[in-house]
Amino acid sequence: MAMAGSFQLTCALLLLFSAAVTATDHIVGANRGWNPGINYTLWANNHTFYVGDLIYLNTLYQKNQYNVFEVNQTGYENCTTEGAVGNWSSGKDFIPLNKAKRYYFICGNGQCFNGMKVSVVVHPLPPPPTSAISTQHSNPNTASSPALFKPGLHSLLLSSLLVCFGFVWMSTP
Express each pLDDT in 31-79 by its tens digit: 888 888 889 999 999 999 999 999 988 645 566 788 899 999 999 999 9
Q: Map out the domains of the chain as residue ranges.
A: 25-123
User: From CA 140, how far away is CA 128, in angstroms rounded?
Assistant: 16
- Report the CATH architecture of 25-123: Sandwich (2.60)
Q: Which tens digit of pLDDT belongs to each residue from 81-94? A: 998 999 998 878 89
User: Do 88 and 59 meet the contact criterion of CB atoms below 8 Å apart?
Assistant: no
8 Å CB contact between 125 and 99: no
Residue type, 88: W
Measured CA to CA, the distance from residue 15 to residue 37 in angstroms comes to: 41
Helices (DSSP H) in 20-110: which residue ranges? 40-45, 73-78
Question: Which pTM value belongs to this model?
Answer: 0.63
